[in-house]
Amino acid sequence: MVDVPDDKAGSEAAPPLAKRRKLRKGTRSCWECKRRKIRCMFASPGEVTCISCQHRGVRCVPQDIAEDPFPAKRDTRRLGERIAAVENLVNGILSSSRGAEAANTDGRAPRREGPSPPSSDISSRPAYNPSPQSPPSSLFPSPDSQGALRLSDGATEGTANPLFAALPTQNDVRILLRASRRSARYTLLSNTQPHSKLTLERLRAPYPEVDLPRPDTPPVTLARAMLTIAIALQNPSGENTEGLSEPPGVLMSRFVTAARTWVTTNDEMHGTVDCLVCIILEGVYEMNSGNLRRAWAVFRRAMSVAQLMGLHRSPMPPLKRIDADLDADPEFLWFRIVYLDRHLSLLLGLPQGTSEKSMAAAAAVRNEPALGRFERLLTVVASRILERNESPFPASQAPATQAIDNELLQVAGSMPASFWRAPDFHRLTPGSPETLLETQRLAAHVYYHGLLIQLHLPFMLRVGDNAVDEYSKITCVNSSREIMSRFIAHRTFNPSSSCSRPVDFFALLAAMTLLLAHLDAHHHRGPTSILAHQRLTDRAMLDQALERMDAIKTRNRDVTTAKSAELIRRLLDIEADASAGGGSYNAARSAGASGGGDEGFHHGEELRLTIPYLGVIRICRQGPISRELPADVSAAQTPWSGSEMQCPSSAWDNPTLPSMADGVDGVDDWVFQGVDTAFFDGLLRGTAALDAAVGLDASGT
């Protein structure tokens, strides 16, 4: 504990009363907190010393008083503690049995200049106990929301391992290691081992005792532990984290920021299997956080590092390892990187990093169970779809699309019948090994049907009696229903997990696809409609999905889910209006829309979706669903909000429809992360190709 001088001594050391400075209204931060760029917090409104200054044993001088240029000397006992800590650190490093090669492979990050916060007595920290009224998600901020990397109060000046300095107290570390051991095992096995090794026996194996990290623990090993703990905190499964001295969200942010700063983006650390695993874990964390664009960039970095190491070659060259206990299959690491890269590329409409297709070779799938084979085969099909999407899209693309569709049929037919049973979470508990395997099977189903939607979406809204186009429409509708039913089942069972982001985004795409198909059917009314009898059932299913989204939004304060639910509600209202005869909505490409003109439409009778990088999508009465290119190309490159909605003022004046907020700065604040851009780009490119082929005019009629 810090020795507090008596009043007399304090009065002798106190400087003469300084002239008060004029401050901006609301400024209460002290000089010490301002210098350290940390938040200045007080235990109670009447306190005159902030919590940070109390911990450090320094005077808390508000900014309205000039700072003392000759501060009182701090207790010299702290200097002795720091010297002893540094000596212990040096002794630990010198006594390490690692050879020179291992030390070079370890690749400690160079020490960065700058002040290091002094140590403090960790026993004086109050325990963090969240209020039962506050939602758990309020504790899970994004990695950058905490600003620059902050070393913990338990750090010592001169610490050679900056990641060790970022750890919380030893008591906190014990709590986190105990609470995350199950999730850490699942995360590591799922991302480093093939499905043939992901067995119930291995998942249920007893947990070994985990030693507390030491100052001489390799930074890469510490980074892996920090990232697995952060991912575990994203997926609460009943583990007890009471007693932490800091909020879990703050710890998540600090762990990921430290691992990113010192390991995953540090070129000197690259080149080992251990570091590659850390990069993959960082990508998994970003994907769980809903930052799909950042996750895509992380996996692209992992792909570059893996290629430099030679993981894409056969046979692979010898690989460097730091932790002999890390059981990571290099061949599976390469497949996992490619699998997630293509998964995200399809969602975001971005190009794939490699077109390699060897992961589905007979030798690679020989020992894999059904789920492992299925994922590898889908990875090859995803590559073919991405190749098609990157090429010009003439009307003659239909044969290539049908060939990929046949390949997907063959993949589905190669699975046993039990593989296609509807996911069943009855009698399962969150966090159990059986739940993990069932969730993975559900995610594979969703990915399969997501590929079908991506494949046939360009042909869904094309007008005509072409049997191929009708087949594409039916396929998109049926796959959308399959995705929505699985989303509802999973989110009814586990609404709090953040580890199902791809499923959530595919559910958004499926809901939009289903509603646009019904809008298209209302526009082309005829004596019969293939969707007429399923309309009410589809709307009921979407209402049920909205209930699940509302539960996630309320429990987790999830912005992405809230915006997704709002978009689906808007489209549901439009579909109901069209079905009631309030107006028809064309479902064809309006070619040549470049200036946002409203020729042929009543003013205000349209729904406008501002899609970043794509333009404005217009769903208009008596007119086509069209793309309005922005007049200024540079304006289209600004990452605006995922959806800016303007409902028809005269057509449906409904006060229950709140307006969507726009004007968001930064790619990470882009709610839908580009999923909306990819969806409408794929939706309209097929109709544009058809318009060009048959010479339709700009109105699409």
* 271-285 tens-digit pLDDT: 999 999 999 999 999
User: How does DSSP classify residue 534?
Assistant: G
Top-confidence residue, 499 or 488:
488
Do residues 487 and 503 touch, judged by C-beta distance below 8 A? yes
3-state secondary structure 74-117: CCHHHHHHHHHHHHHHHHHHHCCCCCHHHHHHHCCCCCCCCCCC
Do residues 436 and 191 touch, judged by C-beta distance below 8 A? no
Q: pLDDT at position 343, please?
A: 95
Q: pLDDT at position 608, please?
A: 61
**Residue 120 predicted with pLDDT over 60:** no
**Residue 326 predicted with pLDDT over 80:** yes
Q: pLDDT at position 376, please?
A: 97
Between 220-234, 488-502, 641-655, 674-688, the lowest mean confidence (pLDDT) is in 641-655
The arithmetic mean of pLDDT across residues 399-422, rounded, is: 95
- Helices 559-579 and 535-556: crossing angle, nearest 10°? 160
pLDDT band for 647, please (50, 70, 90 cuts). very low
Q: pLDDT at position 635, please?
A: 38
Q: pLDDT at position 126, please?
A: 42
Q: pLDDT at position 683, please?
A: 62
Q: How far apart are CA 19 and CA 65, in angstroms?
A: 6
Is 99 exposed, middle or buried (CB count within 10 Å of its CB: 0-12, 13-18, 19+)?
exposed
- What's the chain's average pLDDT? 74
Which of 57-66, 142-151, 362-371, 685-694 shows the highest mean pLDDT?
A: 362-371
pLDDT band for 34, please (50, 70, 90 cuts). confident
**Residue 176 predicted with pLDDT over 70:** yes
Q: pLDDT at position 646, please?
A: 34
Q: Comparing C-alpha atoms, which of 522, 516, 518, 515 is closest to residue 543?
A: 515
Which of 408-417, 454-463, 600-609 shows the highest mean pLDDT?
A: 408-417
Is 691 exposed, middle or buried (CB count within 10 Å of its CB: 0-12, 13-18, 19+)?
buried
The arithmetic mean of pLDDT across residues 314-334, rounded, is: 93
Share of the chain above pLDDT 70, in %: 62
Top-confidence residue, 589 or 469:
469
pLDDT band for 143, please (50, 70, 90 cuts). very low
Q: How far apart are CA 565 and CA 559, in angstroms?
A: 10
Q: pLDDT at position 638, please?
A: 34
Question: Tens digit of pLDDT for each residue in 85-96?
Answer: 556 655 555 554
Q: How far apart are CA 523 and CA 368, in angstroms?
A: 48
Top-confidence residue, 76 or 509:
509
Q: pLDDT at position 33, please?
A: 84
Top-confidence residue, 311 or 646:
311
H/E element, 201 = helix 200-203
**Residue 101 predicted with pLDDT over 60:** no
Question: Tens digit of pLDDT for each residue in 127-139?
Answer: 444 443 333 333 2
Helix ranges, 260-291 (H): 273-288
User: How does DSSP classify residue 263?
Assistant: I
Q: How far apart are CA 464 and CA 682, in angstroms?
A: 19
**Residue 506 predicted with pLDDT over 50:** yes
**Residue 180 predicted with pLDDT over 70:** yes
Do residues 91 and 216 touch, judged by C-beta distance below 8 A? no
**Residue 522 predicted with pLDDT over 70:** yes
pLDDT band for 193, please (50, 70, 90 cuts). very high
Q: How far apart are CA 99 and CA 80, in angstroms?
A: 32
The arithmetic mean of pLDDT across residues 282-311, rounded, is: 95
Q: pLDDT at position 557, please?
A: 79
Q: Comparing C-alpha atoms, which of 623, 625, 605 is closest to residue 615?
A: 625
pLDDT band for 355, please (50, 70, 90 cuts). very high
**Residue 644 predicted with pLDDT over 80:** no
* CB-based burial, 592-607: b 16+ in 10 Å, e otherwise: ebeeeeeeeeeeebbb
pLDDT band for 235, please (50, 70, 90 cuts). confident
Q: Is the pTM of this model over 0.85?
A: no
**Residue 556 predicted with pLDDT over 70:** yes
Top-confidence residue, 431 or 683:
431
Between 73-77, 115-119, 382-386, 464-468, the lowest mean confidence (pLDDT) is in 115-119
Q: pLDDT at position 17, please?
A: 46
**Residue 292 predicted with pLDDT over 80:** yes
Top-confidence residue, 177 or 642:
177
